[in-house]
Amino acid sequence: MSQDVAGFYSLSQLASCRETTKQRARVGVFPLCKKQILRLVDAGDFPSPAGRINNQLIWRKGDIHEYIETFTANHPA
């Protein structure tokens, strides 16, 4: 990893969503909704959560940034 990244991401910070009548549009770290991220975790294709805080799943920022670097290296645009 090119730099040390401290802290955590919650599922809400990772996921994006489009605008509906019940919620505003939100751009997260990934262009995926919460359900898609959880499916990738269950399939083993996404880093596992580090734990829960206030009943919310959290991921280490370092794990997510490492995943992004590995993914982009293996899937060039």
pLDDT recorded at residue 20: 87
Predicted TM-score (pTM) of this structure: 0.81
The domain ranges of the chain are 8-74
Q: Contact, 57 vs 10, CB < 8 A?
A: yes
Q: List pLDDT tens digits, range 44-74.
A: 999 999 999 999 999 999 999 999 999 888 8
> Which amino acid appears at position 27 of this protein?
V
**How far is 56 from 19, CA to CA, in rounded Å?**
22
pLDDT recorded at residue 76: 77
pLDDT recorded at residue 48: 95
Q: Contact, 30 vs 37, CB < 8 A?
A: yes
Both tokens of 34, joined, read: 């919460």
Q: List pLDDT tens digits, range 4-44.
A: 668 999 999 999 998 888 888 989 999 999 999 999 999 99
Q: Which DSSP letter does residue 19 get?
A: -
Q: Contact, 63 vs 4, CB < 8 A?
A: no
